Copies of this chain bind each other. A is one copy, B any other.
Amino acid sequence: MTNSTFSLHEQHEALKRLIEKFELEMHLVDVNPGPRQELERSLLQKQHDAELERHLQRFHSADLADLIEVLSSDHRKRVWDHIPTSRRGEVMLELADAVLESVVETMSREDIVAALSKLEPDDLTFLSDAIPDEAFHAALQTLTSEERTWVHTAATYREEEAGHLMASDMVILKPGQTMENVQAMLRTRKELPDHTDKLFVIDSRGHLIGALFLQDILLNESDTRVEKAMRERVVTFHPRDELDEVALAFERYDLVSAPVINERGKLIGRLTIDAVLDYVREESEKDALNVVGVVETEDLFARIWDSARNRWLWLGINLLTAFGISRVIGAFETTIAQLVALASLMPIIASVAGNTGNQTTALVIRSLALNQLQGSNFWHLLRKELAISLLNGIVWGALVGLFAFLFYQQLGLSIVVTVAMALSFVLAALLGVSAPVLLERVGRDPAMGSSVILTGMIDALGFFVFLLLASLFLV
């Protein structure tokens, strides 16, 4: 790959060496104070600045963003200060949320406004959450009143709605134009908006009636009229559509761009694959973190205190479930005192049952995300998972029973372990299927902290089943 992450890595190392060299040189001037120290410092500083700026110029904005994400916070500030104001807006668009916030914190209100003033209205909308209100409103004043209206409209949509991601820059045609007209019109522009694979055709009332692919302009004769060359079946979106659904549709129908229309069919904006791909990747990262209860996409180099607090919510919930588990075991302390082997066997049941429950949940969460679980499918899946877990529970339970017999030579204990294991597996499947489905029904993200809650509940149930059976039949 050319222009790739491999060379990015090398560029990153080169930049770090550059900054370290600067720091060393400055240090040398400082520890060897001469009569012209101030002058030397200022000359060295100028030379450093020029070299750093020359170095940064070679980077693509997205690569600059990547670089900033992996720098420690003081190097981060150093690099940021040497990115020309005209480029900062673009780089800000590419930064991860948490890193963006740390960068914005170091900027003055004027810096922020200057950086934002180079951006399109939809990019401004995209950044709105990360920018202090006051600076954001000042940046809005650099737009035309039409663009300002656009930003205000887009701001009314939630972050998960198509309206939040839509862009205003698109090329619009009338059905009566010929290919020649269209091409002449295009030539008056210097460039087309990014990811323009098709132009949108509207009628006199602004309603979308079709789309003309760029390739169709090239493939048709020059006197062909737009209404003849355009395609009438276009996948369209409403601004209130959920972005998850939008992403599925982009993937399913292999879209590069798609029009957004309002309830009356009027064309109001455009969605493009790059924004959708960014969204998909961000969501999948967020999901991976959410499962274990890391709430936000955490900045790798955030302050320790911020990072620690970031994880407290789910650690707290985890602790509560753990206290619950502790009380379940506490209730059987007399049983354990009489047969201490129980204490060493109980984690086996909880751990393996917890794992099978997590496997089931992962499958169910995926199916929910892909819209595969609807109506009667739920019962089919539940029955299937219960059957699998009963089968697995008996097989693995027997193995654990055998292990228990080898160590303690008590047949009763082995049987209780086997039965407890099979029961725990079935309970784990029941919870593993129903918990995410219930969460989804009540409108919560089923991936959020699922492993914490689920493992806690399965542990508690597993200990309870095992210790109850033991207290009934063994002591």
Contacts of A327 on B, CB cut-off 8 Å? Answer: 344
Q: Does A115 contact B (CB under 8 A)?
A: no
Q: Which residue on B lies nearest to A70, using beta carbons?
A: B372
Pairwise interchain contact A70-B245, C-beta atoms closer than 8 A: no
Q: State the CA gap A455–B189 with chains docked (Å).
A: 59
Pairwise interchain contact B350-A347, C-beta atoms closer than 8 A: yes
Q: Does A76 contact B (CB under 8 A)?
A: no
Q: Does A464 contact B (CB under 8 A)?
A: no
Pairwise interchain contact A363-B300, C-beta atoms closer than 8 A: yes
Pairwise interchain contact A403-B323, C-beta atoms closer than 8 A: yes
Q: Does A438 contact B (CB under 8 A)?
A: no
Contacts of A455 on B, CB cut-off 8 Å? Answer: 351
Q: State the CA gap A250–B70 with chains docked (Å).
A: 20
Q: What distance in Å separates the Cβ of A358 from its nearest Cβ neighbour in chain B?
A: 4
Contacts of A94 on B, CB cut-off 8 Å? Answer: 252
Q: Does A337 contact B (CB under 8 A)?
A: yes
Pairwise interchain contact A359-B294, C-beta atoms closer than 8 A: yes
Contacts of A362 on B, CB cut-off 8 Å? Answer: 288-289, 291-292, 294
Pairwise interchain contact A304-B235, C-beta atoms closer than 8 A: no
Contacts of A284 on B, CB cut-off 8 Å? Answer: 280-281, 284, 287-288
Task: Say which residue of B70, B219, B351 sits within 8 Å of A321 (CB atoms).
Answer: B351
Contacts of A277 on B, CB cut-off 8 Å? Answer: 250-251, 273, 277, 280
Pairwise interchain contact A253-B322, C-beta atoms closer than 8 A: no
Q: What distance in Å separates the Cβ of A162 from its nearest Cβ neighbour in chain B?
A: 8
Q: State the CA gap A183–B221 with chains docked (Å).
A: 10
Pairwise interchain contact A363-B289, C-beta atoms closer than 8 A: yes
Q: Does A197 contact B (CB under 8 A)?
A: yes
Q: What distance in Å separates the Cβ of A52 from its nearest Cβ neighbour in chain B?
A: 19
Q: Does A130 contact B (CB under 8 A)?
A: no
Q: State the CA gap A246–B358 with chains docked (Å).
A: 31
Pairwise interchain contact B358-A451, C-beta atoms closer than 8 A: yes
Q: State the CA gap A121–B250 with chains docked (Å).
A: 24
Give chain A's interface secondary structure class: helix
Task: Say which residue of B250, B293, B367 sits within 8 Å of A355 (CB atoms).
Answer: B293
Q: What distance in Å separates the Cβ of A97 from its nearest Cβ neighbour in chain B?
A: 13
Contacts of A323 on B, CB cut-off 8 Å? Answer: 348, 403
Q: What distance in Å separates the Cβ of A301 from its nearest Cβ neighbour in chain B?
A: 7
Contacts of A287 on B, CB cut-off 8 Å? Answer: 284, 288
Contacts of A6 on B, CB cut-off 8 Å? Answer: 245
Q: Does A399 contact B (CB under 8 A)?
A: yes
Q: Does A43 contact B (CB under 8 A)?
A: no
- A371-B9 in contact given A190-B219, A340-B337, A347-B347 (Cβ < 8 Å): yes
Contacts of A308 on B, CB cut-off 8 Å? Answer: 388, 391-392
Chain A, range 10-69, C-beta contacts under 8 Å to B: 12-13, 16, 60, 62-63, 66, 69
Question: Hey, what's the 0/1 contact readout for A226-242 against B, CB within 8 Å counting as 1?
Answer: 00000001111110010
Q: Which residue on B lies nearest to A377, using beta carbons?
A: B70
Q: Which residue on B lies nearest to A381, using beta carbons?
A: B300
Q: State the CA gap A388–B298 with chains docked (Å).
A: 13
Contacts of A288 on B, CB cut-off 8 Å? Answer: 284, 287-288, 291, 362, 365-366
Pairwise interchain contact B347-A304, C-beta atoms closer than 8 A: no
Pairwise interchain contact A375-B315, C-beta atoms closer than 8 A: no
Residue picked from A183, A186, A235, A315, most chain B C-beta under 10 Å: A315
Q: Does A352 contact B (CB under 8 A)?
A: yes
Pairwise interchain contact A1-B236, C-beta atoms closer than 8 A: yes
Q: Does A248 contact B (CB under 8 A)?
A: yes
Task: Say which residue of B194, B238, B326, B356 sits within 8 Å of A347 (CB atoms).
Answer: B326
Given A311-B392, A330-B344, 15 additional A-B pairs, CB 8 A = A2-B236, A12-B374, A66-B252, A187-B218, A254-B274, A304-B387, A311-B356, A326-B345, A326-B403, A329-B343, A333-B341, A333-B344, A336-B343, A340-B340, A355-B451
11 residue pairs A–B, Cβ–Cβ below 8 Å: A1-B249, A3-B249, A4-B249, A186-B219, A217-B218, A294-B362, A300-B377, A308-B392, A322-B348, A326-B348, A340-B340
